[in-house]
Structure 1
Amino acid sequence: MPVGENKIIRIIKRRRPRVVVIGGGTGLPVILNALKKQNAEITAIVTVSDDGGSSGVIRNYINVVPPGDMRNVLVSLSDLSEEEKAIFQYRFESNDAFFSGHSIGNLIIAALSEMRGNIFDAIQSLSGMMKVDGHVYPASNEPLTLNAEFMDATTQAGETEITGMHKQIKRVWVTNTNSSDEPSAMQPVIDAVMGADAIVLGPGSLFTSILPNLMIPNLGEAVRKTRAQVIYICNIMTQAGETVGFSDADHVRVINQHLGGDYIDTALVNGAPIDMTKFHPEDYDEYLLPVKNDFEGLRAQHCRVIMDDFTDQRNGLVFHDGDKVAGEIINIALQEMFKRK
């Protein structure tokens, strides 16, 4: 066995690779579940500016951080039985004006937030109850409001309202929903970023799931200062209201512009063709198209490119292949561990 491989094996025995995943939305649990199978030490930092669906209703009723994304992340890292996780995810079908459409997990998170006095401590308590393998941290301990400026210089507040404008977004920022205080992340969030081997951004909506976290001043500063490799999982498809016409280089450019420099070290981009004939006509959006590759644009931003068939195409939808993506992330994290040794 080569000498280098012996060293890596000794490092693996000493500790697991530390991977911090920052984002929100439906793509995040796919990657977290796959990383869990790779035996990584995982920290998920989850967006708290969602104002749609059940999360938005609960946020408006009892003024807590929206729980939906955190609920899904907790389940993805939980060692509970499938039956127990299904109960937590169950969504009411009642005609009751309040319970209809709400999941049990969202209500539990809201209740624990009131009992513990804040969302951060609530999620830590629930992580223990759900036997979570890793750490789940809200990006902020307070509800945040997403704000956007469009290319026509108009502005809009609120995630749902922003995407509903269907305008090209120039920049986004976050404000505290309930006060004029500057948004901030809790210290364990910052410590996780600074101690990581790899920081993963995405997959998820660029302007509404990824950037809101990076716009929290002390969290964005930690991503800029960390020694970890910063990895961006590029979306496979463009998204109406956010990234119409974007290439993979455009996605990276927007993140770098918001961070104020070339901070994305590696981009995982899909190189496989997408069979658009499999999309259901009733679900098809004319703006939903494969993200184009722009390798020169990525290299101009000093970004390493890893291209593969990262797709899981089934049921008329396109997902990321979690196992393939997680494998690349672990390889990068191990390389970073080896460099430090």
Structure 2
Amino acid sequence: MSISSFPKALRALAKAKQTFSKYPTKYSGLFPRKKASGRVHQWFKWLAPGLLVKRWLLLSAGGVLLTSLGAAIWTGLTPIFYTLQFLKHFLGWITAVIPNYVSGPLLLVSGVLFILWGQNRSLNSITSVLMPEGDEELVDRLLNHRRLHRGPKIVAIGGGTGLSTLLRGLKDYSANITAIVTVADDGGSSGRLRREIGVLPPGDIRNCLAALADEEKLLTELFQYRFPAGDGLVGHSFGNLFLTAMSDIAGDLEQAIAASSKVLAVRGQVLPATLSDVHLWAELADGRRIEGESSITEANGKIIKIGYNPPNPPALPKALQAIEEADYIIIGPGSLYTSVIPNLLVSEIADAIASSQVPRIYVCNIMTQPGETEGYTVADHIRAIDRACLDTASRRHRQLFDAVVVQRKVPSAQAIIRYAQEGCNPVIFDREEVIKLGRRIVFTNVMDEDKNTGLIRHDSQRLASVLLRWYSKAQNNLAEGELGMRKIRN
């Protein structure tokens, strides 16, 4: 190119660039490099370890080879002889026309391209059926599935919005999650169904199922939908009606949850702490005895004791099995006296947690709750759980968790003022008292403050990340401790 024509080339290039930016879709086919490189990257993902695909492809290829050899031997090696003769003449003819340094690489590249093209079309056909929306590659779905099913076995104990918030974050780290929830609710839609039909309250179970479902956003909206009108329907949640109907079809709530989990493609399982028809009662500092979960918070008194009527309900066997097989046990977050402690009042569950040797942690609430924990500190939350889990044989408090997650950052002044009007305040962190209670402290920021509504919640993703990091450290400490004990014995 001459120097005089160089400016013309620059102007032409600028014009082409302007045209392409104006009509990107029209000329997108001229620049397939990015798409092609992405496709190649997707293909390399099939070579990732643990996908359980490569071994079966190799086994299939070996099967084809053995089948061919078996057929050839059975027919006296005649097919192999004729095949080799044909290949000899065919390859000789090709190399006579085209030199081998050209024909060899050409055939090699053509063969690889045909393999990739055929496999790509086959996988596209499968993907179009399994994932018609096309929002995810099949290999990505398989890799994610394998990763989640290799995750730790986590048992989360609680109820209400706190537990569902936690589950929403945990399901990105493991599919081996068991949520154990209380069935003492007697208010709202759950309470009406309990009184009118006689089913166990499905409210907390509904929240957890929606949180663990794959299509969480849509299902949460559907399950949380409340009918605004209709004789007998107004105020009812669709999810509660769904679980009630499924209980009638399946026979009991446990089977209904299992069937619903399959319908909703839930990652993990949700289990009630007990299948007994139990009711909460509480003794207040002023001497009153309050019956019913919804009445306890409305009484606006200081709770000094809480229990079940009838007492000592049997635990669900699957819940006990999940605790025994767990790698990690998380208690909370949630309403202390009406969501967290009711699960621990099932003595078999408390015994199973107390005897577990895996990492155990409690997620303390960020704000106090009127009628339950007004004026409570972090240590007060811990003491309440210890009191509720008294060992009936030794009359001693049992330590059900080794560490506690405490919120570091204080909410904004606007949020504090807003919550103070409702009788709520930030839970005070009394470090020295917590240390005296023998708990390790995970002091971090796990708060999500909605700037529009001013609502304060745990951030599901941040909380799950913090909990999994602490679990990894606890596992390492346990491994180092076991190694040290072996050295001492030796």
1:35 aligns with 2:170: yes
Counterpart among 196, 214, 223 of residue 326 in structure 2:
196
Counterpart among 241, 266, 281 of residue 147 in structure 1:
281
Q: Determine which structure has more spread, i.e. the larger CA radius of gyration.
A: 2
The match for 1:321 is: 459
CA distance in 1, matches of 2:216, 2:445: 32
Specify the SS of the correspondent of 2:282.
strand
Query: Structure 1, residues 137-166: CA drift from partner, whole Å, max 9, x if none?
Result: 011113320111112333111011111111
Query: Structure 1, residues 154-194: CA drift from partner, whole Å, max 9, x if none?
Result: 31110111111111001211124xxxx74121111001112
Could you say what the CA RMSD is over the residues aligned between the two structures, in angstroms?
2.1
1:270 aligns with 2:407: yes
Normalised by the length of structure 2, the TM-score is 0.63
The match for 1:234 is: 364
1:308 aligns with 2:444: yes
Question: Partner letter of residue 331 of structure 2?
Answer: L
1:187 aligns with 2:321: no
Specify the SS of the correspondent of 2:353.
helix
CA distance in 1, matches of 2:209, 2:216: 13
Which structure 2 residues correspond to residues 199-238 of structure 1 after superposition, within 5 A?
199-238=329-368
Query: Structure 1, residues 84-137: CA drift from partner, whole Å, max 9, x if none?
Result: 55333322111x231001121110111111222211111111111111110110
Query: Structure 1, residues 249-271: CA drift from partner, whole Å, max 9, x if none?
Result: 11011111222223321100011
The match for 1:131 is: 265
Q: C-alpha displacement at 1:13, in angstroms? A: 9.8
Structure showing greater relative contact order (alpha-carbon pairs closer than 8 Å, 6 or more residues apart) = 1
Query: Structure 1, residues 48-68: CA drift from partner, whole Å, max 9, x if none?
Result: 001111111111111111111
Matched-pair identity in %: 37
CA distance in 2, matches of 1:58, 1:252: 33
CA distance in 1, matches of 2:297, 2:261: 32
Question: Partner letter of residue 166 of structure 2?
Answer: I
Which structure 2 residues correspond to residues 1-341 of structure 1 after superposition, within 5 A?
15-39=150-174, 41-80=176-215, 82-94=217-229, 96-176=230-310, 182-259=312-389, 260-278=397-415, 285-314=421-450, 315-338=453-476, 339=478
Contact 2:299 2:371 (C-alpha < 8 Å) held by counterparts: yes
Question: Partner letter of residue 130 of structure 1?
Answer: L
Query: Structure 1, residues 183-219: CA drift from partner, whole Å, max 9, x if none?
Result: 1211110011122122111111100000000001211
Q: How many residues align?
A: 324
Contact 1:197 1:336 (C-alpha < 8 Å) held by counterparts: no
Q: C-alpha displacement at 1:238, in angstroms? A: 0.7
Range that drifts further, 155-164 or 270-279: 270-279
Contact 1:40 1:330 (C-alpha < 8 Å) held by counterparts: no
Specify the SS of the correspondent of 1:37.
coil
CA gap 1:208/1:83 in 2 versus in 1, 3 angstroms: closer
CA distance in 1, matches of 2:314, 2:300: 29
Q: C-alpha displacement at 1:273, in angstroms? A: 1.3
Q: C-alpha displacement at 1:226, in angstroms? A: 1.3
Contact 1:238 1:288 (C-alpha < 8 Å) held by counterparts: yes
Q: C-alpha displacement at 1:81, in angstroms? A: 6.7
Specify the SS of the correspondent of 2:462.
helix
CA gap 1:13/1:52 in 2 versus in 1, 3 angstroms: closer
Contact 2:160 2:339 (C-alpha < 8 Å) held by counterparts: yes
CA gap 1:206/1:147 in 2 versus in 1, 3 angstroms: same
CA distance in 2, matches of 1:276, 1:215: 37
Range that drifts further, 299-308 or 146-155: 146-155
Contact 1:67 1:106 (C-alpha < 8 Å) held by counterparts: yes
Contact 2:314 2:348 (C-alpha < 8 Å) held by counterparts: yes
CA distance in 2, matches of 1:132, 1:107: 18
Normalised by the length of structure 1, the TM-score is 0.89
Range that drifts further, 190-199 or 288-297: 190-199
Query: Structure 1, residues 65-90: CA drift from partner, whole Å, max 9, x if none?
Result: 11111111101111247445533332
Q: Show structure 1 runs of 5+ residues with no match.
A: 1-11
Contact 1:256 1:264 (C-alpha < 8 Å) held by counterparts: no
Contact 2:148 2:175 (C-alpha < 8 Å) held by counterparts: no
| Higher helix proportion | 2
Q: C-alpha displacement at 1:280, in angstroms? A: 7.8
The match for 2:59 is: none
| Higher strand proportion | 1
Range that drifts further, 286-295 or 270-279: 270-279
Question: Partner letter of residue 330 of structure 1?
Answer: L
